[in-house]
Structure 1
Amino acid sequence: MDNEKPEVERNMSAESDLPQPETEVISPAPATERTPKANSSLALRLVVLITFVIAVLACVGSGYLYWQLQLQSQQTSSMATSMQQALQAPENELRQLAQQLQQSQQASANQQTTIEALLQSDQQLQSKIATLAQRHPNHWLAAEAEYLVRIAGRKLWLEKDPQTAVGLLQAADERIAAMQEPSLVPLRKALAQDIANVQDIKTVDIAGTVFTLDGIIGKLDKMPLHQLGQHEQTADENSQQMSDSVSDWKSNLAKTWKALTEDFFTIRKINTDITPLLSPKQEWYLEENIRNKLLQAQLALYQYNALNYRQSITMARKWIQQYYDLEDEHTQEVLQALQALVNLTLDPINVQQFQCSAQLKQLVTYGKLVPATEAEQ
């Protein structure tokens, strides 16, 4: 082996001694340096990409989480609203029930008050019934007499009917006389005085007078109006007729001359009051005004107002005399009726109250007549 080794070394040395061709030497050192840089750049890019991806995923995840949180928040708020509404509905029902209960309590209190008032009035009624049961049976006659006196007052002061009031007072006196109680003599004296006072009032047939005025109102459309100059024209026509006698030639000549001149102008002498003729419209107004005055007279009769009654009749009569034909029979009848009615006297009712009213009240309340001091207590 040692022999082979020198031989190899000799070959190598021989080859080294031979001239070598010139070749471009490429240094391997740069190649070794470029490979790590490329690897590091790729790794950096990979890291950046991974980081970007992670960031995008993080953003998407955070957005998704935010969206989920918003959905949960909306669901929570809607659930809270629904729960609040669900809780508010029973609260409103409870409030309504409380109000209804309060109203029921108030109604119960009012009913209780009404029941107590009814019980109290019932007790008072029972006591009055017991008192009336202990009284004399003639007490009912006294109550009826008091009622008749009250009706008499209504007839006298509201309806202005003294005749009916006198009849009612006499009927009340009959009820008191039927009781046959000597202690009621003062009451009968008071009733007699009231009857005399009402009888002193001059009574007027109000209903008959009103019917008479209605008849006059019905005749207004039958009366003709006064025609101005009608009688004068008739007299002139009679005076213009010619005579057949020859001795009256002068008067006939004068009448002929007058007839000729009247074709040109006419002169008339009127001694009566000049009143213009009325148109149909004015005639209607005149008739309505007269009717209104007669209706006012009827109202004054019911009110016992003598002044208004007399003024209304006088004005209606004046208009009829001024505008209607006084020779017509309907006009004469109406004027005669108005003349009779204008003299009607209406006395005022001076009786202000009945003297027997206070004593009748005592008789009904206490069952007997009591002194004034005891009645006031």
Structure 2
Amino acid sequence: MTEQQDVQTSTAPGQEATSQTTHASQAAAQPQQPAQSKGRAGVLMGGLAILIALGLTGGLYYHGHQGALAQQAELAQLKQQLTQVSDRLAHSGGEERALLGELGKQQQTLQEEFKGLQNRVLDLNDKRPNDWMLAESEYLVRMAGRKLWLEHDLVSAITLLGNADERIKALNDPSLMPIRKSLAEDITRLKAMPRIDREGLTLKLAALEDQIELLPLSNVTMPAAQEQQSQAVSSNPDEWESNLKKNWVKFTENFITIRRRDGAVEALISPQQEIYLRENLKTKLLQAQLAVYREQQGLYEDSIDKAQRWLGQYFDTDNSATRYLLGELDKLKGEQIQFDYPDKFSSQALLEQVLTERLQRIATGN
């Protein structure tokens, strides 16, 4: 378009011939066609580029708008969750504060009660500072009962009761005189009981047991031979009966032969039976020792009785060791090893009653 304008402006002032103008316009028209096609292509390309740019811009805007909407939804959801969490924390915080307040009140109440108990204990200690000695006396009486009824230890029981009386005496309380009187009665009753030397009895039985191996067994004793009367026949006819007897004796001597035997007589039992006898005798003495500690009077007497019977039956009673053993067993058999102990101490019930009363006064604060 610019070239055409240039050609028109150049021909107008000179007013040249029409033929020349026609040839000139034809010559100028030929190069203007490709220029117009190029211009149209450029316009098309520019429009297409604008459309593409607009499309990309619209797509980017749509995508960004959708992302913004999603983010806004997520933010709204997070805000809602934070609101719920804050509400829960506020609610739980209120419960915890209420619980802590209640626990604080309970702790304060317990502290006040504890202080009150401390004051009461201090007050009671000022009033009765030696009541613990009374409880110790009650414990000693119970221990004395265990020593007496379980171990049959009479000496220890008496000692423990005496210690309990010393504790009560140190209290110097006139209201406790009935307890001291009851303790004196219990101690007197125990001292009046017969005492047994268990260790001494068992040692004697053990010493006798060691002597069993030295005892000799008894032998068979043969009776003394009687003097035989003269077997000579008398010539007196009046003695025909005695003469007949004498002739009969002489006749029978040919059928019966009597021989004398010199040397020691064999024992009544075999060597193996002798071993069993001595061991059984030792066992009986061991049973007697065990019966002493268990205070079984029947077993004790039965064991010694059988030992005495076996000694007299199978051993030589003429021997001095056998006679000594039989005599000692006879002495030991008369020992009393079983006693009837009191079932309870009268002082124990009184002590328990006094302690119970004082504990009740402590609980009530009187």
> Scaled by the length of structure 1, what TM-score is found?
0.50
Query: Shift of the alpha carbon at 1:227?
Result: 1.7
CA deviation profile, 1:45-88 (whole Å, cap 9, x unmatched) = xxxxxxxxxxxxxxxxxxxxxxxxxxxxxxxxxxxxxxxxxxxx
Matched, 1:265 2:266: no
Q: Residue 170 of structure 1 aligns to which amino acid in structure 2? A: G
Matched, 1:308 2:299: yes
Matches within 5 A, 1:43-82: none
Matches within 5 A, 1:101-140: 130=121, 133=125, 136-140=128-132
Which residue does 1:156 correspond to in 2?
Answer: 148
Matched, 1:360 2:356: no
1:217 paired residue among 187, 202, 209? 209
Which residue does 1:334 correspond to in 2?
Answer: 325
Contact kept, 8 Å, 1:152 with 1:164, in 2: the verdict is yes
Taking structure 1 as reference, are residues 336 and 135 closer, same or farther at Cα in structure 2, changes over 3 Å only?
Answer: farther
Q: Residue 340 of structure 1 aligns to which amino acid in structure 2? A: K
Q: 2: distance between equivalents of 1:338 and 1:172?
A: 41
Q: What residue ranges of structure 1 are gaps of 5+ in the alignment?
A: 1-122, 240-260, 269-274, 371-377
Matched, 1:141 2:136: no
Taking structure 1 as reference, are residues 369 and 145 closer, same or farther at Cα in structure 2, changes over 3 Å only?
Answer: farther
Contact kept, 8 Å, 2:218 with 2:267, in 1: the verdict is no
Q: Residue 208 of structure 2 aligns to which amino acid in structure 1? A: I
1:200 paired residue among 183, 192, 195? 192
Which residue does 1:176 correspond to in 2?
Answer: 168
Taking structure 1 as reference, are residues 352 and 227 closer, same or farther at Cα in structure 2, changes over 3 Å only?
Answer: same
Q: 2: distance between equivalents of 1:296 and 1:369?
A: 53
Query: Shift of the alpha carbon at 1:364?
Result: 4.4
Q: Residue 299 of structure 2 aligns to which amino acid in structure 1? A: N
Taking structure 1 as reference, are residues 190 and 267 closer, same or farther at Cα in structure 2, changes over 3 Å only?
Answer: farther
Query: Shift of the alpha carbon at 1:191?
Result: 0.8
Taking structure 1 as reference, are residues 289 and 300 closer, same or farther at Cα in structure 2, changes over 3 Å only?
Answer: same
Which residue does 2:183 correspond to in 1?
Answer: 191
Which residue does 1:112 correspond to in 2?
Answer: none
Q: Residue 201 of structure 2 aligns to which amino acid in structure 1? A: T
Q: 1: distance between equivalents of 2:360 and 2:289?
A: 44
Q: 1: distance between equivalents of 2:332 and 2:162?
A: 31
Identity across the alignment (%): 38
Contact kept, 8 Å, 1:201 with 1:347, in 2: the verdict is no
Contact kept, 8 Å, 1:226 with 1:324, in 2: the verdict is yes
- For the residue of structure 1 that corresponds to 2:335, the secondary structure is coil
Taking structure 1 as reference, are residues 149 and 321 closer, same or farther at Cα in structure 2, changes over 3 Å only?
Answer: same
Query: Shift of the alpha carbon at 1:290?
Result: 1.5
Q: 1: distance between equivalents of 2:174 and 2:298?
A: 47
Which residue does 1:318 correspond to in 2?
Answer: 309
Taking structure 1 as reference, are residues 228 and 188 closer, same or farther at Cα in structure 2, changes over 3 Å only?
Answer: same
Which residue does 1:228 correspond to in 2?
Answer: 220
Q: 2: distance between equivalents of 1:264 and 1:218?
A: 48
Instruction: Give the number of aligned pairs.
Output: 217
Contact kept, 8 Å, 1:294 with 1:313, in 2: the verdict is yes
Q: 1: distance between equivalents of 2:259 and 2:166?
A: 82
Q: 2: distance between equivalents of 1:177 and 1:369?
A: 23
Query: Shift of the alpha carbon at 1:341?
Result: 0.6
Which is bigger in relative contact order (C-alpha 8 A, separation at least 6)?
A: 1
Query: Shift of the alpha carbon at 1:328?
Result: 2.0
Query: Shift of the alpha carbon at 1:164?
Result: 2.5
Query: Shift of the alpha carbon at 1:342?
Result: 0.9
Contact kept, 8 Å, 1:213 with 1:298, in 2: the verdict is yes
2:279 paired residue among 268, 276, 288? 288
Contact kept, 8 Å, 1:221 with 1:287, in 2: the verdict is yes
Q: What residue ranges of structure 2 are gaps of 5+ in the alignment?
A: 1-113, 228-253, 362-366
Q: 2: distance between equivalents of 1:208 and 1:355?
A: 32
